[in-house]
Amino acid sequence: MSDELTALRDELEGAVLAAGSLEALEDVRVRALGRRGAVTELMKSLGKVAPEERRERGQALNRLKQAVSDAIDARKAALADVELERRLAAERIDITLPVRPAPEGSLHPISQTIDEITQIFGEMGFRWAEGPDIEDDWYNFTALNIPPEHPARQEMDTFYLAAEEGRARPVLRTHTSPVQIRTMLSEPPPLRVIVPGRTYRSDHDATHSPMFHQVEGLAIGRSIHMGHLKGCLIAFCRAFFGVADLPVRFRPSHFPFTEPSAEVDIGCTREGGQLRIGAGGDWLEILGSGMVHPKVIANCGLDPEEWQGFAFGMGIERIAMLKYGIPDLRTMYDSDLRWLRHYGFRPLDIPGLIAEAAE
């Protein structure tokens, strides 16, 4: 290649390498290889070259053209890589999630205890039922075999609401038992329900709150007997307190809506002023129960000769305090954040029969 062509090649390759963008590179290409480009013009002038030099000059020009063209292609690829890197960096999207902060809320021991109770009875085939907090006298008392002059009405320290035209005076329900009546009236037996809910009595001290919670249970069928009641409640007590050999005692008692009636005690010890649930010779009352009174069954339009069943009721605060060692009932309603942090539960912890029994 002549000096002239070598100089041109060096110049053009230098311009190609110096092109900092695809547009600048295109300018260099047009300047070299375009219709009026330096290399193109030299090609055009080939005709004026003496015939004996033409062949060699033609080959040299072709090599020059090829060299410049290769340099442009290489530079183009390099610029495209740079451009891609730039775009990848500029358009980068952060697809990582920030670390999830630990949940701050916790479940109140009453909610947790309701979850645990319904979980355990749910595994025994009981389903959740509910009734209104403002109840008719008939559901709260009369249908449960507590007639107008019955002493149980006084014992319950009822909150009465203002009477309405043509309607008996409504009450804030004193127990969850009226939901037994509502359930039997609204669906055909056999049935098994568990009824957690708020209850109200005009009573306030370290162990009583005017609003508290109960859970009612009801099982109605054609051949349910006292053995079913005992088996069911023994299994519940052992699962709930997580003590596989927990002693459970049935003590004769009286409720107007059950016959016979039994109060249920669980074993405990009280050594050195410390209460411990489990075998030990002492007893602690935790719930009331019995076979549903035939009059209650009849009040719900069922034939007591055909349908029998058992019912039970317990105070949720009381068993929560026993299980979780909460000394004062009133702290349950203080909404004190430090108390809730101490006694609260992680929202997704719902222990069941199996988890509890495995302990």
Q: Which residues bind ligand DAH (CB under 6 A)?
A: 175, 177, 216, 255, 258, 288-290, 311-313
Q: Of 125, 120, 104, which Cα lies nearest the Cα of 323?
A: 120
Closest distance of CB 180 from ligand DAH, Å:
7
- Report the residue number, 200 or 343, with the smaller CB distance to ligand DAH: 200
Find where tokens 């007893």 sit.
283
From first CA to last CA, the distance across the chain in angstroms is 94
**Which residue lies nearer to ligand DAH by CB, 32 or 218?**
218
Beta bridge partners of 262: 252, 289
In the complex, least distance from residue 273 CB atom to ligand DAH, rounded to whole angstroms = 28
With beta carbons less than 8 A apart as the criterion, state whether 166 and 112 touch: no
16 or 215, CB closer to ligand DAH? 215
Between residues 118 and 258, which has the closer beta carbon with respect to ligand DAH?
A: 258
Q: Which residue is nearest to ligand DAH (CB)?
A: 313
Cβ at position 189, least distance to ligand DAH in Å: 16
Residue whose CB is less far from ligand DAH, 28 or 146: 146
The CB-of-341 to ligand DAH minimum distance in angstroms stands at: 32
| Residue 119 near residue 126, CB atoms below 8 Å | no
To the nearest whole angstrom, how small is the minimum distance from the Cβ of residue 155 to ligand DAH?
9
CA distances from 15 to 28, 29, 37, 52, 65 (A): 7, 10, 14, 33, 14
